[in-house]
């Protein structure tokens, strides 16, 4: 238990390690009775606080990117994740407190935030004070706040600069935006609403979004896929509430269909993938090479077409109203390894330390899945496995509101309890750290029915792929091969990392040297230290340069293409390294790799364009590699525009240890390297360090650990 709050005869308790929120009846303080417990995707349950009615609960998770979560607990047997709030998706929402109809949020690098929660389901920020001048993310800035002084004084504790004293200025009014379908008058969820073209929020299942702007005239615009944009202006009065309805006209739709074939043989391609970029629309061709997407809003799209063994291409196309049938042609990649009979691949490294059953192996995979998982933002599932399809900010019941079955408890060595998991299976649960297990239970926390304590925060769906990606093959590299599709932890990555390295690849003689691969990654602890990292070498594996590191799950096959020149000079000794790691505590980790290609991005059919090197949206570090590092550490810096850039290594005291970059640089990506020494050449001490970059009026930071 990390944090608990007694309010009346209830106790709200947050279990950070297991990601569980609990509510107890404290009518008899000597004998608390658990009323409800539940979990959800991304859970790292740090603290919680109810509103004045006791029908809504605000929950924080001390992780970068996790918003303040707003649960409807009017029915404690079935809590509902209704809404979320964050001032910056890159930051940590640390603690929340309720005073009257106000929320006070300690937001680390984003300072202290004060929200009007007179509508408890749609709190709106009206005041803030940011005590941290540095970049967003991680644990600097306001750690805690206390708003409970009768005088109205608010104090905040900044981990770097100390105690701050504030008083909130209440010069604001409320704007309650209701978005509806113009054709049906039904409320629309998932509508992004912008205030004066800047701040934005998203409507929930009731169609509402709320702002707390300064008094005066303000403009409101809306955007939702499949609808025309809407806009209006309204005058906001101090202390008042403006009720604003925006009717969105649905765009007319059409069926987008056609064929995908080989540009050299004209053969129709089965199982090719077509994406309408920046939209949720995607499909695959059938066995005859035909595709069909119904309900496509008539508009111009950026179309991406892919197929294993072929060079991916992009096209800009107007879909409808007259031209909605098209043919796309793909050029075969000159080098293609479907991994049916891979040669020259290394499935281990000298420093691998993951458990043997979860290491890389080339097989026809036995897919694993979660039948009834936890409450997730992207796929919220009802008890019994019904998928209600609710997205972030929409109303949906959790798949398991873990209820009190009895007051009896069976404690385990790791702090779990058999009763606490009883709503997930019909038998008792053995926690992975010990405790009593029923007949048939394994030592890893698996019970006889195939459930697992680590599955609490997992959403329904696949964990390891059932099929490889190759249209005509069966094999791929996966992290471990189990035998029971329901046993998600039977052969996943555990307690360390496992490494997969390609044979040498020849990238010479190409105008745009590219390496393609299809990847799959799952972690039950998004945003944690679990990862799938990709790096490249042009000297046969002597040195490595980081390309990407995934920390969030993508439980589907997805193709990526590396433009080698963004990272290294092309040679005939290029290798690609994939590392899957379980370093996020008690979690499930699976990865898969398939269909490697090498090609020249300039070799394309008429009218097509290569998959471009994306211009980053913001100044940002990618995950440093390796982390922890024993010597040299590398990281990719994303530059959204050309200009002067400074990059440094900084220690915990804020002292600059080494200058990495101070020059003009083009937009794109830049690989930077630190060899573990300060600017004088002295070996740096072991400890926590930060990579800090500044440019174009922005700053970004990431941290890593140096060990000896």
How does DSSP assign 63-85, residue by residue? STTPPEEEEE-SSTTS-EEEEEE
Contact 320, 276 (CB under 8 A): no
Contact 622, 546 (CB under 8 A): yes
Q: Examine domains 337-368+464-610 and 620-706 and report if their fold is the same.
A: no
CATH of 3-166, one of 2.130.10.10, 3.40.190.170, 3.50.50.100, 3.40.50.1010: 2.130.10.10
Distance of CA 159 to the CA centre of its chain: 27
pLDDT-based confidence at residue 218 (cuts at 50, 70, 90): very high
HSE-CB at 76 with a 13 A cutoff on CA atoms is: 16
Cβ-Cβ contacts under 8 Å for 461 (sequence gap 6 or more): 369, 370, 373, 379, 555
Q: Write down the pLDDT at residue 639.
A: 87
Nearest one of 622, 645, 659 to 546, comparing CA atoms: 622
Strands 102-106 and 95-99: antiparallel
Torsion of the alpha carbons at 283, 289, 295 and 299, rounded to the nearest 10: 90
Q: Write down the pLDDT at residue 605.
A: 60
- 254-330, what's its fold? Immunoglobulin-like (2.60.40)
Q: Indicate if the pLDDT at residue 594 is higher than 50.
A: yes
Could you tell me the CA-to-CA distances from 565 to 91, 432, 570 in Å, in that order?
32, 46, 7
Mean pLDDT, rounded, for 483-496: 92
Tokens coding 473: 């093959």
Mean pLDDT, rounded, for 316-327: 89
Does residue 667 or residue 219 have the better pLDDT? 219
Q: Write down the pLDDT at residue 335.
A: 97
**What is the pTM (predicted TM-score) of this model?**
0.70
What are the extents of the domains in the chain? Answer: 3-166, 174-248, 254-330, 337-368+464-610, 620-706
Cβ-Cβ contacts under 8 Å for 653 (sequence gap 6 or more): none
Contact 329, 262 (CB under 8 A): yes
Partner residues linked to 133 by β-bridges:
none
pLDDT-based confidence at residue 61 (cuts at 50, 70, 90): very high
Contact 412, 398 (CB under 8 A): no
d(CA 530, CA 358): 14
pLDDT-based confidence at residue 67 (cuts at 50, 70, 90): very high
Could you tell me the CA-to-CA distances from 670 to 247, 612, 616 in Å, in that order?
45, 16, 11
HSE-CB at 671 with a 13 A cutoff on CA atoms is: 19
Mean pLDDT, rounded, for 82-95: 91
**pLDDT tens, residue by residue, 420-460:** 222 233 222 223 333 333 333 333 333 333 333 344 456 67
Its CATH class, for the domain covering 620-706, is mainly beta
Contact 534, 576 (CB under 8 A): yes
Nearest one of 132, 147, 298, 115 to 211, comparing CA atoms: 115
- 174-248, what's its fold? Immunoglobulin-like (2.60.40)
Distance of CA 370 to the CA centre of its chain: 19
d(CA 538, CA 680): 29
- Give the DSSP H/E element, type plus range, for residue 536: strand 531-537
Pure H helices in 35-177: none
Quote the percentage of the chain above a pLDDT of 70: 85
Contact 402, 93 (CB under 8 A): no
Q: How many CB atoms lie within 10 A of CB 218?
A: 19
Phi-psi region of 692 (alpha: psi -120 to 50; beta: other; left: phi over 0): beta
d(CA 577, CA 59): 39
- Give the DSSP H/E element, type plus range, for residue 93: none
Contact 659, 643 (CB under 8 A): no
- 337-368+464-610, what's its fold? Jelly Rolls (2.60.120)
The DSSP symbol for 458 reads P
Contact 295, 312 (CB under 8 A): no
Buried b or exposed e, range 326-365, using 16+ CB within 10 angstroms: bebbbbbbeebbbbeebeebeeeeeebebbebbbbbbeeb
Phi-psi region of 163 (alpha: psi -120 to 50; beta: other; left: phi over 0): beta
Contact 473, 446 (CB under 8 A): no
Q: Write down the pLDDT at residue 645.
A: 92
Q: Indicate if the pLDDT at residue 704 is higher than 70.
A: yes
The DSSP symbol for 346 reads B
Does residue 480 or residue 379 have the better pLDDT? 480
**pLDDT tens, residue by residue, 504-546:** 999 999 888 999 999 999 988 776 678 999 999 999 999 999 9
Q: Write down the pLDDT at residue 391.
A: 31
Q: Write down the pLDDT at residue 384.
A: 25
Strand ordering across the sheet containing 68-72: 45-50, 56-61, 68-72, 80-85
The CA R_g of the chain, rounded to the nearest whole Å, is 26
**pLDDT tens, residue by residue, 89-124:** 878 999 999 999 999 999 999 999 999 999 999 999
**3-state SS, one letter per residue, for 397-447:** CCCCEECCCCCCCCECCCCCECHHHHHHCCCCCCCCCCCCCCCCCCCCCEC
Which residue in this structure is represented by tokens 């630190």?
Answer: 674
Task: Name the E strands within 538-655.
Answer: 545-550, 554-563, 575-582, 589-600, 609-610, 620-621, 633-639, 643-651
d(CA 19, CA 420): 12
């Amino acid at each position: 238990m990390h944090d608990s709050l007694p309010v009346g005869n209830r106790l709200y308790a947050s279990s950070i390690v297991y990601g569980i929120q609990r509510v107890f009846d404290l009518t008899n303080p000597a004998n608390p009775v658990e009323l409800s417990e539940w979990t959800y995707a991304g859970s790292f349950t740090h603290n919680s606080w109810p509103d004045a009615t006791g029908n809504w609960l605000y929950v924080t998770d001390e992780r970068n990117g996790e918003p303040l979560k707003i649960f409807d607990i009017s029915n404690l047997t079935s809590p509902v994740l209704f809404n979320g709030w964050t001032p910056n998706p890159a930051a940590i929402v640390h603690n929340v407190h309720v005073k009257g109809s106000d929320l006070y949020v300690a937001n680390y690098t984003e300072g202290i935030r004060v929200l009007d929660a007179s509508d408890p389901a749609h709190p709106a920020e009206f005041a803030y004070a940011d005590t941290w001048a540095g970049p967003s993310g991680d644990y600097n800035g306001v750690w805690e706040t206390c708003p409970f002084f009768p005088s109205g004084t608010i104090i905040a504790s900044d981990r770097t600069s100390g105690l701050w004293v504030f008083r909130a200025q209440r010069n604001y009014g409320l704007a309650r935006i209701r978005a509806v379908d113009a054709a049906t008058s039904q409320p629309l969820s998932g509508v992004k609403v912008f205030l004066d073209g800047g701040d934005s929020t998203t409507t929930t299942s009731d169609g509402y979004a709320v702002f707390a702007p300064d008094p005066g005239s303000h403009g409101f615009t809306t955007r939702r896929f499949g609808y025309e944009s809407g806009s209006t202006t309204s005058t906001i009065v101090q202390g008042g509430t403006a009720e604003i309805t925006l009717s969105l006209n649905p765009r007319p739709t059409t069926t987008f269909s056609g064929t995908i074939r080989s540009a050299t043989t004209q053969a129709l391609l089965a199982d090719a993938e077509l994406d309408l970029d920046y939209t949720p629309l995607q499909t695959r061709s059938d066995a005859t090479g035909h595709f069909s997407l119904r309900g496509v809003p008539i508009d111009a799209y950026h179309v991406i077409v892919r197929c294993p063994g072929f060079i991916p291409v992009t096209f800009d196309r107007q879909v409808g109203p007259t031209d909605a049938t098209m043919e796309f042609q793909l050029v075969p990649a000159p080098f293609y390894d479907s991994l049916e009979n891979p040669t020259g691949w290394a499935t281990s490294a000298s420093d691998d330390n993951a458990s043997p059953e979860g290491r890389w192996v080339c097989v026809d995979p036995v897919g694993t899945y979660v039948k009834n998982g936890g409450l997730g933002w992207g796929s919220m599932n009802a008890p019994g496995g019904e998928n209600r399809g609710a997205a972030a900010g929409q109303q949906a019941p959790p798949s398991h509101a873990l209820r009190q079955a009895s007051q009896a408890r069976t404690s385990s060595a790791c702090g779990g309890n058999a009763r606490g998991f009883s709503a997930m299976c019909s038998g008792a649960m053995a926690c992975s750290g010990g405790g009593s297990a029923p007949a048939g239970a394994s030592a890893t926390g698996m019970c006889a029915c195939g459930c697992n304590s680590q599955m609490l925060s997992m959403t329904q769906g696949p964990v390891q792929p059932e099929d490889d990606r190759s249209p005509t093959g069966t094999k791929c590299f996966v992290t471990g091969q189990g035998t029971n599709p329901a046993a998600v932890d039977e052969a996943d990555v555990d307690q360390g990392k496992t490494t997969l390295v390609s044979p040498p690849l020849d990238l010479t003689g190409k105008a745009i040297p590219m390496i393609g691969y299809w990847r799959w990654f799952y972690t039950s602890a998004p945003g944690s230290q679990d990862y799938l990292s990709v790096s490249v070498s042009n000297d046969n594996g002597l040195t490595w340069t980081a390309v990407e590191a995934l920390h969030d799950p993508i439980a589907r096959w997805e193709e990526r293409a590396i433009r080698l020149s963004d990272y290294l000079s092309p040679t005939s000794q290029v290798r690609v390294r994939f590392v899957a790691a379980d370093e996020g505590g008690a979690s499930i980790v699976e990865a898969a790799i398939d269909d490697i290609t090498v090609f020249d991005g300039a070799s394309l059919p008429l009218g097509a364009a290569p998959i471009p090197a994306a211009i980053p949206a913001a100044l940002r570090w990618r995950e440093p590699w390796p982390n922890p590092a024993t010597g040299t550490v590398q990281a990719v810096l994303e530059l959204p525009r050309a200009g002067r850039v400074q990059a440094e290594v900084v220690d915990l005291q804020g002292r600059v240890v080494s200058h990495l970059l101070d020059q003009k640089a083009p937009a794109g990506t830049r690989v930077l390297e630190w060899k573990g020494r300060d600017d004088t050449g002295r070996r740096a001490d072991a400890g926590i360090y930060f990579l800090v970059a500044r440019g174009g009026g922005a700053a970004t930071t990431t941290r890593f650990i140096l060990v000896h």
